[in-house]
Amino acid sequence: DWTMGAYREQAIAAIREQVGDAKVICGLSGGVDSSVAAVLIHEAIGDQLTCVFVDHGLLRQGEAEEVVTMFRDHYNMPLIHADEQDLFLSALEGVSDPETKRKTIGRLFIDVFQKHAGEVGGAEFLAQGTLYPDVIESVSFSGGPSVTIKSHHNVGGLPEKMGLKLVEPLRELFKDEVRALGRELGLPRSFIGRHPFPGPGLAIRCPGEITREKLAILRKADAVYIDQIRRHGLYDEIWQAFVAILPVRTVGVMGDGRTYDYACALRAVTSVDGMTADYYPFTHEFLGETATRIINEVKGINRVTYDITSKPPGTIEWE
Ligand code: XMP
């Protein structure tokens, strides 16, 4: 794509011009926006850039390893892998209100990011994968208007608090252009096509109280579900798909015995921008096969339901 080739060169020149020989830190979530921003800036200024990847213990199966492997080993970027799972999970103990979950995660994220970014020493800039739509409207999520966090890496007030200037090389781009730029920069296709994942992560897919046990079950079920979707060639047709573990246990039979395990809900939607969405019309065969696999492969779940709510009136996430 010649347009993106030209954009890439122009953006690299602009980053060099803005940053000079100063140090830059970038919050990496593993999402498309922050990843493309990081790779572009790394191409412009090399090791003047350090990325900070915060593992809040609410990521999906294998996600932290994937991000670290890709950026540290494949791209050779200086990367701080902040394993802060215990901190976040203990702060969330006993919290079941969705708004409180988001606020707790957002607040801790700022603290943790600040702490680890401080290890870099003398950074002058903070890089963010802000897109054009984020610039023109402040997006509000299911948590309501008091939530100003677009993603846990695009945290309002953070640059001011840290006394850093912003580098936002994607500010003029829409999502599809960011994907094109990502391809231009050689990011793997599988990575660029990934479904959106919310900043608060699995916390808002575990309605009610979050426990390590529930998170472990949820991760396994989600991995089986996504594997099913990929095997059936449906991943790219779907905007977002995930499992929510429900705060209810139900009775089942397995062999000669009675089980009393969690119920889960599968969610899959089509959407253009996440503002409205329709549930995905899976075939009954697909749903049946997936339910059987989850119940057989995931200890702790004995009932699977499919969420057929569209947005509005539902939201995409369960909280
Ligand atoms: P809802 O559930 O409001 O979600 O229909 C719309 C889109 O936004 C994502 N989402 C979030 N992303 N922080 C985020 O970074 C959040 O608190 C948050 N809540 C929802 C959701 O995954 C979907 O793509």
Q: How far does residue 146's CA lie from ligand 1's centre (Å)?
A: 14
Instruction: Name the nearest CA neighbour of 197 among 51, 58, 72.
Output: 58
Say what the ipTM of the complex is.
0.99
Question: What is the distance in A from the centroid of ligand 1 to the CA of 231?
Answer: 26
- Ligand 1, atom 6: nearest CA belongs to which residue? 274
Whether 33 has a binding-site annotation, put simply, is yes
Q: Which pLDDT does position 303 carry in this prediction?
A: 98
| C-alpha to C-alpha distance for 276 and 271, rounded to whole angstroms | 6
Looking at the CA of residue 139, tell me the nearest atom of ligand 1: 8
Cα–Cα–Cα angle for 212, 213, 217, rounded to 5 degrees: 115
CA angle 69, 29, 156 (to 5 degrees): 155
State whether the beta carbon of 311 lies less than 6 angstroms from ligand 1.
yes
> How crowded is residue 15: how many other Cβ atoms within 10 Å of its Cβ?
23
Ligand 1 pocket check: which of 101, 109, 317 to mutate, most ligand atoms within 8 Å of Cβ? 317
Q: Is the CB of 201 under 6 A from ligand 1?
A: no
Known binding residue 32? Answer is yes
Give CA–CA dist 221/13, Å, rounded.
45
28, 64 in Cβ contact below 8 A? no
CA proximity to 27, closest of 205, 199, 201, 188: 199
Domains belonging to the chain, first-starting first, are 2-192 (3.40.50.620), 206-306 (3.30.300.10)
pLDDT value at position 146?
Answer: 32
| Beta bridge mates, 87 | none
Place of tokens 């391809």: 183
What pLDDT tens digit does each residue of the chain (319 aa) get? 668 999 999 999 999 999 999 999 999 998 999 999 999 999 999 999 999 999 999 999 999 999 999 999 889 999 999 999 999 999 999 999 999 999 999 999 999 999 998 899 889 999 999 998 887 755 444 444 333 334 444 456 777 878 899 999 999 999 899 999 999 999 998 889 999 999 999 999 999 999 999 999 999 999 999 999 999 999 999 999 999 999 999 999 988 999 999 999 999 999 998 999 999 999 999 999 999 999 999 999 999 999 999 999 999 999 9
User: With 0-12 CB in 10 A as exposed, 13-18 as middle and 19+ as buried, what is 68?
Assistant: middle
pLDDT at res. 30: 87
Q: Which atom of ligand 1 is nearest to the CA of 271?
A: 24
pTM here is 0.91
SS3 (DSSP) at 54: strand
Query: What's the confidence (pLDDT) of residue 156?
Result: 61
- 76 CA → ligand 1 middle, Å: 31
Which atom of ligand 1 is closest in space to residue 240's alpha carbon? 24
3-state helix, strand, coil in the chain (%, to 5): 45, 20, 35
